[in-house]
Structure 1
Amino acid sequence: MNQLIKVDVKNNQQVLSARDLYNGLEIAQRFSRWVDKNFEMFEENIDYVPCTSSTQQNQYGGTKEIDDYTITISMAKELAMMVRNDNGKRYRKYFLKLEEKWNDPQEVVKRGYEILQDENIQLKLENKKLKPKATYFDKIMASKSLMITTTIAKDYGMSAQAFNNLLKKLKIQYKLGGIWYLYSKYQENGWVSSSTRIIDNKPRIITKWTQKGRAGLYKLLKAHDIVPMIEKLDVKTVTIGG
């Protein structure tokens, strides 16, 4: 079927420009008067929605925005019926064929399948946005190795010194004799593992974080809106995409 007028699909409904129909029907009166005379029997936001369209302003290619309406196929069919000439009959028949094809069971099933595909794609995108948060915590729980403060600090985009000072500010640890110690409420949680090494002929205590401690820090810091860099990137991606 040859296209008589441009018809789009929005919100699972066939719609077109009232201006395009007005021009196709070759209405003699002004567009605004045609609208005032014929739109009273239709409901705004159900049969039609006000909008604008572009038109050429001069021979040099300039354009300007003019008033228009997005109307349903059903409304367009009735408007065509009101025009008692060959154009009105031709457009009415065209809209009837479009409605017949739109309501064909095969077309209904096809549209339903496309909607399901779109919903599945959207669900996958949403799951992908959520995945980095779960991945970071899952990585913590899956690992059994001990970690130095520098490594954990990098997850948060900080230096070891800045990260240690942050934990001090949050009353998680304190420094004594050049060594960091957990406050008593965290000491028995199995968050750290300490060992003694001889460096420059002097014994030195080396403290590393267990994965349980890393997970504990994650929860405590998140309660203060401090999250790993991977989750910060995820929030920015959602904002841009939204």
Structure 2
Amino acid sequence: MKLKVISKKNQLLVDSREVAEMTGKRHGHLIRDIECYLVIINQNPKLEADKFFIESSYKAGTGKKYKNFLLTRKGCDMVANKMTGEKGILFTAAYVTKFEEMENKLNLNIPQSLPEALRLAADLAEKNEHLLLENAQKNQMINELQPKASYYDLVLQNKSLLSISKIAKDYGMSGTKMNKLLHELEIQFKQGNCWLLYQKYADKGYTQSKTHTIDSEKSKLHTYWTQKGRLFIYETLKNKKGILPMIEQEERAS
């Protein structure tokens, strides 16, 4: 039988039923022995009985509950020290090997130095930021596809798409300034290096997102504005900021 070690609350444990089966001992007798050990251990509170044995229970096929114990490595040591013969030796070899194997696996994920801990923290932060960005990008693309567009909307969406820089040029400003202006108006927000629409505008057909592949492992999402989105920006800037495109500024000046 191969000994099974479980991890529970960051502690490695072995079920007393497995110990009994592996050593050829009746489980009831093993429970009795462990209870005797606990009587002695509990006489000295500093020894902390739960560092050796943790009382538990299991249901039999009939649905009735029975007592069992979960043994820590110290608990296995104590049980093994009371055993003699081939089965006792095999049990000792099995639990020592299995505990060592499990501990090594756990240690692989634990930083061994401050630089390693900092690197792990940085990696986790970068991974989390990437997941947040990816999720936000997916949400925008889903929202863009959700509306059931009219024929007019479909025509607009199939015309040429515009980058924010091209729209900004109509107003004599840079794409960076336009993006900040739309952010001030609570139309879009920045996630990573991408500008994404707030939820109330995400499903209006104002933008279309395209993913551009950088290499086999990296890609970047670019947001383009539709003609409908361009008109939305025009109306918003005119009504809320009094900002007009250059062509209308020139007309009013003449």
TM-score by length of 2: 0.40
More helix, by proportion: 2
TM-score by length of 1: 0.41
